[in-house]
Amino acid sequence: MKKFPFRTFVSDMDGTLLNAHHVVGDFTRSTLKKLDERGIDIILATGRGYADVSSILNSMEIENAAMVTSNGAEVHDLKGNLIYSNYLPEELAFDIMQESFNPKNVCLNSYQGDEWFINVDLPALMKYHKESGFSYQVVDFAAHHGRRTQKVFFIGRSLEDLLPLEKQLREKYGEYTSIMYSTPQCLEVMNKNVSKATALSALVEQRDYDLKDCIAFGDGMNDIEMLTEVGKGCVMGNADARMVEKVPHLERIGFNKDEAVASYARAVFGIY
């Protein structure tokens, strides 16, 4: 069997593996199939929820893959088996849902179980989920619950709209939670020690290799730990500028709109 430089291909989705239309391009689909046929483990590590990601993966011709979802709050295999989880405690999740924010510029969301909840109807968000069909339910969070909460997240019109809320959340819950941005407009709150890196490490522990045998790709602040802990981390050309400043030593590749991850993976693994 041919020896490859890495055992595992790990990729973020939005802004990384997905193209500018927020879907998996044909060139990327073909690349993932070729990696799978050569025995390379495929792991998608994303802020998206499991139901969303599994729908996308199951539409591909891939036999084996794993999903690190909700920024590392859950890990599933391709068959849907839950391998790892780290949820917000129910009372803590509910308390975070009650935090004050400017409703004109920020909306409140949560991923709980296999469901997505939101405080207002915002159809514009569905362009990110047209491939999977994953959709939200509008709820009154004051009368909601905190069960099986992978993350509570706030989407703002801009980063500036979220900065006061970030300060507020860190002061009240920083000791008990992991708080990070998945994009400059999305501030996310998970349980303590939740990250893509932690979840990936837990997954790899069950296999016959370790993190140094992984190559990973990302574009956001929530990818930093993962990219710095694997054997090789690659930063997208369209990455969050704050992320680029924190990891100047990591290689920058092309843009997600050009399916640069697929092109880079073909070169690294020698598949054309």
Distance in Å from the first CA to the final CA of the chain: 17
SS3 196: helix
Sheet holding 41-45, edge to edge: 82-85, 74-77, 66-69, 41-45, 8-11, 214-218, 232-235, 251-252
Extract the tokens encoding 133.
């069909």
Nearest to 219 by CA among 67, 70, 6, 11: 11
Residues in CB range of 10: below 8 A, 6 or more apart: 43, 44, 45, 200, 214, 215, 216, 217, 226, 230
Q: Using an 8 Å Cβ cutoff, are 255 and 238 in contact?
A: yes
Dist. CA 63–CA 58, nearest whole Å: 9
Catalytic site residues?
Answer: 12
Extract the tokens encoding 149.
């909460």
Q: Using an 8 Å Cβ cutoff, are 107 and 118 in contact?
A: yes
- b/e map 257-268, b = 16+ CB within 10 Å: ebbbbbebbbee
Q: Using an 8 Å Cβ cutoff, are 73 and 85 in contact?
A: yes
